[in-house]
Structure 1
Amino acid sequence: MTYRALIVEDDARAAATLRAHLTRYGREVGASFSIEVLGSALEFLDGRHAADIVFLDIGLPGVSGMEAAQIMRQTDEVTPIVFVTDLAQYAVRGYAVDALDFMVKPVEYADFALRMGRAMRVMTRNANATVSIPTADGTRIVPMRDIVYVEILRHDLYWHVAGMTGPLRVRGSLTAEEARLGERFCRISASHLINMQHVRVVRGSGITMSDGTELSFSRSRKKAALEALARFAGGSV
Protein backbone atom coordinates (compact mmCIF):
# COMPACT_ATOMS: atom_id res chain seq x y z
CA MET A 1 0.00 0.00 0.00
CA THR A 2 0.96 3.65 -0.30
CA TYR A 3 1.29 5.59 2.95
CA ARG A 4 0.28 9.25 2.95
CA ALA A 5 2.93 11.44 4.58
CA LEU A 6 2.19 15.05 5.45
CA ILE A 7 5.08 17.45 6.06
CA VAL A 8 3.98 20.68 7.75
CA GLU A 9 7.03 22.93 7.55
CA ASP A 10 7.48 26.59 6.60
CA ASP A 11 11.22 26.18 5.88
CA ALA A 12 11.50 24.98 2.29
CA ARG A 13 14.97 23.52 2.82
CA ALA A 14 13.91 21.55 5.89
CA ALA A 15 10.82 20.29 4.05
CA ALA A 16 12.94 19.21 1.08
CA THR A 17 15.26 17.31 3.43
CA LEU A 18 12.37 15.38 4.98
CA ARG A 19 10.93 14.62 1.55
CA ALA A 20 14.30 13.29 0.36
CA HIS A 21 14.70 11.18 3.51
CA LEU A 22 11.21 9.68 3.09
CA THR A 23 11.85 8.87 -0.57
CA ARG A 24 15.19 7.23 0.24
CA TYR A 25 13.73 5.31 3.18
CA GLY A 26 10.88 4.04 1.02
CA ARG A 27 13.34 2.71 -1.56
CA GLU A 28 15.42 0.98 1.10
CA VAL A 29 12.55 -0.79 2.88
CA GLY A 30 10.24 -1.34 -0.09
CA ALA A 31 7.55 1.10 1.08
CA SER A 32 5.65 3.64 -0.98
CA PHE A 33 4.92 7.17 0.24
CA SER A 34 2.64 9.84 -1.15
CA ILE A 35 4.16 13.05 0.19
CA GLU A 36 2.41 16.39 0.60
CA VAL A 37 4.08 19.54 1.97
CA LEU A 38 2.15 22.34 3.68
CA GLY A 39 3.63 25.63 4.82
CA SER A 40 1.37 26.53 7.75
CA ALA A 41 -0.75 25.08 10.52
CA LEU A 42 -3.85 26.74 9.07
CA GLU A 43 -3.48 24.72 5.87
CA PHE A 44 -2.94 21.60 7.94
CA LEU A 45 -6.07 22.17 10.02
CA ASP A 46 -8.48 22.89 7.16
CA GLY A 47 -9.58 19.25 7.11
CA ARG A 48 -8.62 18.46 3.50
CA HIS A 49 -5.34 16.65 4.05
CA ALA A 50 -5.71 13.06 5.20
CA ALA A 51 -2.45 11.43 6.29
CA ASP A 52 -1.04 8.25 7.76
CA ILE A 53 1.84 10.14 9.40
CA VAL A 54 2.43 13.85 10.09
CA PHE A 55 5.84 15.50 10.36
CA LEU A 56 5.06 18.71 12.19
CA ASP A 57 7.40 21.64 12.72
CA ILE A 58 6.90 23.05 16.21
CA GLY A 59 8.06 26.56 15.30
CA LEU A 60 5.45 27.36 12.67
CA PRO A 61 4.45 31.03 12.35
CA GLY A 62 1.05 32.01 13.72
CA VAL A 63 -0.48 28.81 15.05
CA SER A 64 2.46 26.73 16.30
CA GLY A 65 2.95 23.07 15.58
CA MET A 66 2.22 22.22 19.22
CA GLU A 67 -1.08 24.13 19.10
CA ALA A 68 -1.96 22.48 15.79
CA ALA A 69 -1.32 19.05 17.30
CA GLN A 70 -3.61 19.84 20.23
CA ILE A 71 -6.40 20.77 17.81
CA MET A 72 -5.76 17.69 15.67
CA ARG A 73 -6.01 15.39 18.68
CA GLN A 74 -9.58 16.57 19.35
CA THR A 75 -10.76 14.50 16.38
CA ASP A 76 -7.83 12.20 15.65
CA GLU A 77 -6.23 10.26 18.48
CA VAL A 78 -4.32 7.71 16.41
CA THR A 79 -2.42 9.23 13.48
CA PRO A 80 1.26 9.38 14.48
CA ILE A 81 2.80 12.82 14.88
CA VAL A 82 6.55 13.29 14.59
CA PHE A 83 7.64 16.74 15.75
CA VAL A 84 10.54 18.39 13.96
CA THR A 85 12.17 21.18 15.94
CA ASP A 86 15.24 23.33 16.40
CA LEU A 87 14.86 23.19 20.17
CA ALA A 88 15.13 19.81 21.84
CA GLN A 89 13.78 21.18 25.13
CA TYR A 90 10.30 21.39 23.60
CA ALA A 91 10.24 17.62 23.20
CA VAL A 92 8.82 16.89 26.64
CA ARG A 93 5.68 18.89 25.82
CA GLY A 94 4.85 16.41 23.10
CA TYR A 95 3.67 13.86 25.62
CA ALA A 96 0.56 16.00 26.10
CA VAL A 97 -0.48 15.33 22.50
CA ASP A 98 0.82 11.75 22.37
CA ALA A 99 3.56 12.51 19.86
CA LEU A 100 5.23 9.42 18.46
CA ASP A 101 8.71 10.91 18.26
CA PHE A 102 10.91 14.00 17.83
CA MET A 103 13.59 14.89 15.33
CA VAL A 104 15.97 17.77 15.92
CA LYS A 105 17.03 19.89 12.94
CA PRO A 106 19.06 19.46 10.89
CA VAL A 107 17.65 15.96 10.54
CA GLU A 108 20.32 13.44 9.59
CA TYR A 109 19.26 10.44 7.54
CA ALA A 110 20.62 7.83 9.95
CA ASP A 111 18.52 9.25 12.78
CA PHE A 112 15.50 9.58 10.50
CA ALA A 113 15.69 5.96 9.35
CA LEU A 114 16.07 4.69 12.90
CA ARG A 115 12.95 6.52 14.05
CA MET A 116 10.93 5.57 10.97
CA GLY A 117 11.11 1.91 11.95
CA ARG A 118 8.85 2.63 14.90
CA ALA A 119 6.62 4.88 12.82
CA MET A 120 6.14 2.16 10.20
CA ARG A 121 4.91 -0.28 12.82
CA VAL A 122 2.34 2.24 14.03
CA MET A 123 1.21 3.12 10.50
CA THR A 124 0.80 -0.52 9.55
CA ARG A 125 -1.29 -1.16 12.65
CA ASN A 126 -3.40 1.94 12.03
CA ALA A 127 -3.94 1.09 8.38
CA ASN A 128 -5.57 -2.15 9.47
CA ALA A 129 -7.52 -0.67 12.36
CA THR A 130 -8.82 2.77 11.34
CA VAL A 131 -10.20 4.66 8.38
CA SER A 132 -9.99 8.38 7.62
CA ILE A 133 -13.20 10.10 6.48
CA PRO A 134 -12.67 13.63 5.05
CA THR A 135 -15.94 15.35 6.00
CA ALA A 136 -16.84 19.00 5.52
CA ASP A 137 -15.99 19.58 9.20
CA GLY A 138 -12.55 18.02 8.90
CA THR A 139 -11.05 14.57 8.51
CA ARG A 140 -12.38 12.12 11.07
CA ILE A 141 -10.32 9.07 12.05
CA VAL A 142 -12.73 6.27 12.87
CA PRO A 143 -11.97 2.79 14.25
CA MET A 144 -12.90 0.35 11.51
CA ARG A 145 -14.68 -1.87 14.03
CA ASP A 146 -17.14 0.98 14.78
CA ILE A 147 -18.33 1.39 11.19
CA VAL A 148 -21.76 -0.25 10.97
CA TYR A 149 -22.46 0.36 7.29
CA VAL A 150 -21.94 2.85 4.50
CA GLU A 151 -24.69 3.90 2.10
CA ILE A 152 -24.73 6.08 -0.97
CA LEU A 153 -27.52 8.49 -1.89
CA ARG A 154 -26.96 10.18 -5.23
CA HIS A 155 -23.27 11.13 -4.99
CA ASP A 156 -22.99 11.37 -1.20
CA LEU A 157 -21.72 8.66 1.11
CA TYR A 158 -23.23 8.35 4.57
CA TRP A 159 -21.03 6.58 7.10
CA HIS A 160 -23.04 5.09 9.95
CA VAL A 161 -20.73 4.73 12.93
CA ALA A 162 -21.52 3.14 16.28
CA GLY A 163 -21.76 5.72 19.05
CA MET A 164 -22.46 8.65 16.73
CA THR A 165 -25.86 10.34 16.74
CA GLY A 166 -25.88 10.83 12.98
CA PRO A 167 -23.95 9.62 9.93
CA LEU A 168 -20.84 11.27 8.53
CA ARG A 169 -21.58 12.67 5.09
CA VAL A 170 -18.96 13.00 2.37
CA ARG A 171 -18.82 12.95 -1.44
CA GLY A 172 -17.40 9.71 -2.76
CA SER A 173 -17.71 6.33 -4.43
CA LEU A 174 -19.06 3.26 -2.67
CA THR A 175 -17.02 1.06 -5.00
CA ALA A 176 -13.82 2.84 -3.96
CA GLU A 177 -14.67 2.45 -0.27
CA GLU A 178 -15.46 -1.25 -0.79
CA ALA A 179 -11.91 -1.74 -2.09
CA ARG A 180 -10.41 0.37 0.70
CA LEU A 181 -12.24 -1.23 3.63
CA GLY A 182 -11.37 -4.82 2.76
CA GLU A 183 -12.70 -8.29 3.41
CA ARG A 184 -14.66 -7.70 6.62
CA PHE A 185 -17.04 -5.51 4.64
CA CYS A 186 -19.61 -6.83 2.19
CA ARG A 187 -21.58 -5.11 -0.59
CA ILE A 188 -25.20 -6.24 -0.31
CA SER A 189 -26.69 -3.86 -2.87
CA ALA A 190 -25.80 -0.98 -5.14
CA SER A 191 -26.44 1.37 -2.22
CA HIS A 192 -25.11 -0.43 0.88
CA LEU A 193 -21.76 -1.70 2.11
CA ILE A 194 -21.95 -3.42 5.50
CA ASN A 195 -19.51 -4.34 8.24
CA MET A 196 -20.17 -8.04 8.75
CA GLN A 197 -19.12 -7.72 12.40
CA HIS A 198 -22.27 -5.67 12.97
CA VAL A 199 -24.78 -8.08 11.38
CA ARG A 200 -27.22 -9.38 13.98
CA VAL A 201 -29.93 -11.12 11.96
CA VAL A 202 -29.87 -12.61 8.45
CA ARG A 203 -33.21 -13.15 6.74
CA GLY A 204 -34.19 -14.29 3.27
CA SER A 205 -34.61 -10.76 2.00
CA GLY A 206 -32.05 -8.88 4.04
CA ILE A 207 -30.30 -8.30 7.34
CA THR A 208 -30.58 -6.40 10.59
CA MET A 209 -27.55 -4.45 11.77
CA SER A 210 -26.38 -3.83 15.34
CA ASP A 211 -28.00 -0.38 15.38
CA GLY A 212 -31.37 -1.90 14.45
CA THR A 213 -31.30 -0.80 10.81
CA GLU A 214 -32.87 -3.27 8.39
CA LEU A 215 -31.23 -3.48 4.98
CA SER A 216 -32.23 -5.47 1.91
CA PHE A 217 -30.17 -7.58 -0.46
CA SER A 218 -30.33 -6.69 -4.13
CA ARG A 219 -31.18 -9.63 -6.39
CA SER A 220 -27.85 -9.46 -8.22
CA ARG A 221 -25.73 -9.38 -5.05
CA LYS A 222 -27.70 -11.65 -2.72
CA LYS A 223 -25.91 -14.93 -3.49
CA ALA A 224 -22.39 -13.49 -3.14
CA ALA A 225 -23.37 -11.56 0.01
CA LEU A 226 -24.82 -14.65 1.70
CA GLU A 227 -21.68 -16.63 0.83
CA ALA A 228 -19.48 -13.87 2.29
CA LEU A 229 -21.57 -13.79 5.47
CA ALA A 230 -21.35 -17.59 5.79
CA ARG A 231 -17.54 -17.47 5.44
CA PHE A 232 -17.34 -14.69 8.01
CA ALA A 233 -19.56 -16.53 10.48
CA GLY A 234 -17.42 -19.62 10.01
CA GLY A 235 -14.29 -17.69 10.91
CA SER A 236 -12.61 -17.89 7.50
CA VAL A 237 -12.53 -14.11 7.00
Structure 2
Amino acid sequence: MRAHLARFGAEKGVRFQVEVLSSALELLDSDHQCDIYFLDIGLPGINGMEAAQIIRQADEATPIVFVTDLAQYAVRGYSVDALDFMLKPVRYEDFALRMGRALRVLQRNAGATLSLPTADGLRIVRLADIVYVEILKHDLYWHIEGEAEPIRQRGSLKAAEEELGTQSFCRIAASHIVNMAHVVRLRSGSVTMSDGSELAISHSRKAEATKALARFAGVGA
Protein backbone atom coordinates (compact mmCIF):
# COMPACT_ATOMS: atom_id res chain seq x y z
CA MET A 1 0.00 0.00 0.00
CA ARG A 2 2.86 2.39 0.78
CA ALA A 3 4.44 1.61 -2.57
CA HIS A 4 1.13 2.03 -4.38
CA LEU A 5 0.54 5.40 -2.72
CA ALA A 6 4.06 6.56 -3.58
CA ARG A 7 3.64 5.55 -7.24
CA PHE A 8 0.15 7.05 -7.48
CA GLY A 9 1.33 10.30 -5.89
CA ALA A 10 4.23 10.57 -8.33
CA GLU A 11 1.93 10.01 -11.30
CA LYS A 12 -0.74 12.46 -10.14
CA GLY A 13 1.51 15.11 -8.60
CA VAL A 14 -0.09 14.58 -5.17
CA ARG A 15 1.79 14.36 -1.87
CA PHE A 16 0.53 11.96 0.80
CA GLN A 17 1.34 11.88 4.49
CA VAL A 18 0.83 8.31 5.67
CA GLU A 19 0.36 7.12 9.24
CA VAL A 20 0.30 3.38 9.94
CA LEU A 21 -1.39 2.09 13.11
CA SER A 22 -1.21 -1.48 14.36
CA SER A 23 -4.79 -1.80 15.63
CA ALA A 24 -8.23 -0.23 15.45
CA LEU A 25 -8.04 0.46 19.17
CA GLU A 26 -4.95 2.60 18.62
CA LEU A 27 -6.89 4.57 16.02
CA LEU A 28 -9.97 5.07 18.19
CA ASP A 29 -8.11 5.91 21.40
CA SER A 30 -6.35 8.94 19.96
CA ASP A 31 -7.17 11.94 17.83
CA HIS A 32 -5.92 10.96 14.37
CA GLN A 33 -7.12 13.45 11.76
CA CYS A 34 -7.03 12.18 8.19
CA ASP A 35 -8.59 12.64 4.77
CA ILE A 36 -9.17 8.94 4.08
CA TYR A 37 -9.13 5.73 6.12
CA PHE A 38 -7.75 2.45 4.77
CA LEU A 39 -9.00 -0.22 7.16
CA ASP A 40 -8.29 -3.92 7.28
CA ILE A 41 -11.19 -5.92 8.68
CA GLY A 42 -9.27 -8.79 10.27
CA LEU A 43 -7.70 -6.70 13.03
CA PRO A 44 -6.95 -7.86 16.59
CA GLY A 45 -9.44 -6.81 19.25
CA ILE A 46 -11.89 -4.43 17.58
CA ASN A 47 -12.08 -5.44 13.93
CA GLY A 48 -12.11 -2.97 11.08
CA MET A 49 -15.88 -3.14 10.51
CA GLU A 50 -16.57 -2.41 14.18
CA ALA A 51 -14.04 0.44 14.08
CA ALA A 52 -15.79 1.90 11.03
CA GLN A 53 -19.12 1.82 12.85
CA ILE A 54 -17.58 3.78 15.74
CA ILE A 55 -15.93 6.26 13.35
CA ARG A 56 -19.25 6.88 11.60
CA GLN A 57 -20.92 7.90 14.88
CA ALA A 58 -18.82 11.07 14.90
CA ASP A 59 -17.68 11.36 11.27
CA GLU A 60 -20.12 10.80 8.42
CA ALA A 61 -17.99 12.24 5.63
CA THR A 62 -14.39 10.96 5.66
CA PRO A 63 -14.06 8.19 3.03
CA ILE A 64 -13.43 4.67 4.35
CA VAL A 65 -11.82 2.07 2.09
CA PHE A 66 -11.56 -1.51 3.36
CA VAL A 67 -8.43 -3.39 2.36
CA THR A 68 -9.05 -7.02 3.20
CA ASP A 69 -9.18 -10.63 2.11
CA LEU A 70 -12.59 -11.06 3.75
CA ALA A 71 -14.81 -10.52 0.72
CA GLN A 72 -17.90 -11.66 2.63
CA TYR A 73 -17.93 -8.33 4.47
CA ALA A 74 -18.50 -6.32 1.30
CA VAL A 75 -22.28 -6.12 1.73
CA ARG A 76 -21.91 -4.96 5.34
CA GLY A 77 -19.74 -2.12 4.07
CA TYR A 78 -22.91 -0.30 2.98
CA SER A 79 -23.94 0.04 6.63
CA VAL A 80 -20.94 2.30 7.29
CA ASP A 81 -21.10 4.01 3.88
CA ALA A 82 -17.75 2.57 2.82
CA LEU A 83 -16.42 4.18 -0.33
CA ASP A 84 -14.84 0.99 -1.65
CA PHE A 85 -13.29 -2.42 -0.99
CA MET A 86 -9.84 -3.54 -2.11
CA LEU A 87 -9.21 -7.26 -2.00
CA LYS A 88 -5.77 -8.55 -1.06
CA PRO A 89 -3.40 -8.90 -2.71
CA VAL A 90 -4.02 -5.40 -4.06
CA ARG A 91 -2.80 -4.91 -7.63
CA TYR A 92 -1.63 -1.42 -8.51
CA GLU A 93 -4.07 -1.06 -11.40
CA ASP A 94 -6.98 -1.84 -9.08
CA PHE A 95 -5.60 0.49 -6.41
CA ALA A 96 -5.13 3.38 -8.86
CA LEU A 97 -8.68 3.06 -10.18
CA ARG A 98 -10.16 3.21 -6.69
CA MET A 99 -7.78 5.89 -5.44
CA GLY A 100 -8.73 8.10 -8.38
CA ARG A 101 -12.34 7.78 -7.29
CA ALA A 102 -11.40 8.55 -3.69
CA LEU A 103 -9.60 11.74 -4.73
CA ARG A 104 -12.67 12.91 -6.61
CA VAL A 105 -14.75 12.37 -3.47
CA LEU A 106 -12.16 14.25 -1.40
CA GLN A 107 -12.28 17.15 -3.83
CA ARG A 108 -16.05 17.34 -3.55
CA ASN A 109 -15.83 17.19 0.24
CA ALA A 110 -13.18 19.89 0.33
CA GLY A 111 -15.55 22.38 -1.25
CA ALA A 112 -12.80 24.48 -2.87
CA THR A 113 -14.32 27.54 -4.52
CA LEU A 114 -13.54 30.07 -7.23
CA SER A 115 -14.63 33.72 -7.38
CA LEU A 116 -15.91 34.84 -10.79
CA PRO A 117 -16.40 38.58 -11.34
CA THR A 118 -19.24 39.05 -13.82
CA ALA A 119 -21.34 41.93 -15.10
CA ASP A 120 -24.01 40.97 -12.55
CA GLY A 121 -21.59 40.85 -9.60
CA LEU A 122 -19.28 38.34 -7.96
CA ARG A 123 -20.20 34.65 -8.22
CA ILE A 124 -18.69 32.06 -5.90
CA VAL A 125 -18.71 28.56 -7.41
CA ARG A 126 -17.33 25.26 -6.20
CA LEU A 127 -14.55 23.82 -8.35
CA ALA A 128 -16.26 20.45 -8.16
CA ASP A 129 -19.39 21.95 -9.79
CA ILE A 130 -17.55 23.36 -12.84
CA VAL A 131 -18.24 21.02 -15.76
CA TYR A 132 -16.17 22.84 -18.37
CA VAL A 133 -15.03 26.28 -19.47
CA GLU A 134 -15.09 27.55 -23.03
CA ILE A 135 -14.07 30.80 -24.68
CA LEU A 136 -15.94 32.58 -27.47
CA LYS A 137 -14.15 35.65 -28.78
CA HIS A 138 -13.07 37.38 -25.54
CA ASP A 139 -15.68 35.93 -23.20
CA LEU A 140 -15.37 32.92 -20.95
CA TYR A 141 -18.42 30.73 -20.41
CA TRP A 142 -18.35 28.70 -17.21
CA HIS A 143 -20.70 25.71 -17.44
CA ILE A 144 -21.83 24.81 -13.93
CA GLU A 145 -23.48 21.56 -12.88
CA GLY A 146 -27.21 21.99 -12.42
CA GLU A 147 -27.39 25.42 -14.07
CA ALA A 148 -29.11 25.80 -17.44
CA GLU A 149 -27.13 28.88 -18.50
CA PRO A 150 -23.34 29.29 -18.22
CA ILE A 151 -21.75 32.11 -16.27
CA ARG A 152 -20.30 34.69 -18.69
CA GLN A 153 -17.10 36.51 -17.83
CA ARG A 154 -14.55 38.59 -19.72
CA GLY A 155 -11.15 36.93 -19.65
CA SER A 156 -8.69 34.54 -21.24
CA LEU A 157 -8.68 30.75 -21.19
CA LYS A 158 -4.99 30.79 -20.27
CA ALA A 159 -5.73 32.76 -17.10
CA ALA A 160 -8.58 30.38 -16.27
CA GLU A 161 -6.28 27.41 -16.82
CA GLU A 162 -3.70 28.83 -14.43
CA GLU A 163 -6.35 29.53 -11.79
CA LEU A 164 -7.93 26.08 -12.03
CA GLY A 165 -4.67 24.11 -12.02
CA THR A 166 -4.08 20.72 -13.58
CA GLN A 167 -5.00 18.28 -10.82
CA SER A 168 -8.64 17.98 -11.93
CA PHE A 169 -8.81 20.18 -15.02
CA CYS A 170 -7.44 19.54 -18.49
CA ARG A 171 -7.13 21.76 -21.56
CA ILE A 172 -8.45 19.69 -24.47
CA ALA A 173 -8.44 22.41 -27.14
CA ALA A 174 -7.67 26.06 -27.70
CA SER A 175 -11.25 26.81 -26.70
CA HIS A 176 -12.07 24.35 -23.90
CA ILE A 177 -10.95 23.29 -20.41
CA VAL A 178 -12.80 20.33 -18.91
CA ASN A 179 -13.23 19.14 -15.35
CA MET A 180 -11.96 15.56 -15.62
CA ALA A 181 -14.29 14.48 -12.79
CA HIS A 182 -17.22 15.33 -15.10
CA VAL A 183 -15.96 13.38 -18.12
CA VAL A 184 -18.26 10.39 -18.57
CA ARG A 185 -16.92 9.09 -21.89
CA LEU A 186 -13.66 9.43 -23.77
CA ARG A 187 -13.57 8.80 -27.50
CA SER A 188 -10.65 9.06 -29.90
CA GLY A 189 -11.39 12.69 -30.73
CA SER A 190 -13.87 13.91 -28.15
CA VAL A 191 -15.15 13.74 -24.59
CA THR A 192 -18.72 13.55 -23.33
CA MET A 193 -19.41 15.58 -20.22
CA SER A 194 -21.82 14.90 -17.36
CA ASP A 195 -24.24 17.52 -18.75
CA GLY A 196 -24.38 15.69 -22.08
CA SER A 197 -22.09 18.08 -23.98
CA GLU A 198 -19.71 16.47 -26.46
CA LEU A 199 -16.49 18.46 -26.84
CA ALA A 200 -13.82 17.94 -29.46
CA ILE A 201 -10.21 17.26 -28.49
CA SER A 202 -7.87 19.16 -30.80
CA HIS A 203 -5.25 17.19 -32.70
CA SER A 204 -2.40 19.16 -31.13
CA ARG A 205 -3.59 18.35 -27.59
CA LYS A 206 -4.88 14.83 -28.18
CA ALA A 207 -1.90 12.89 -26.82
CA GLU A 208 -1.46 15.06 -23.72
CA ALA A 209 -5.19 15.28 -22.96
CA THR A 210 -5.78 11.55 -23.44
CA LYS A 211 -2.88 10.74 -21.14
CA ALA A 212 -4.12 13.17 -18.46
CA LEU A 213 -7.66 11.79 -18.61
CA ALA A 214 -6.45 8.19 -18.43
CA ARG A 215 -4.27 8.94 -15.43
CA PHE A 216 -7.08 10.77 -13.68
CA ALA A 217 -9.33 7.75 -14.15
CA GLY A 218 -6.57 5.48 -12.88
CA VAL A 219 -6.05 3.70 -16.19
CA GLY A 220 -2.56 3.01 -17.45
CA ALA A 221 0.76 4.41 -16.25
TM-score under structure 1 length normalisation: 0.46
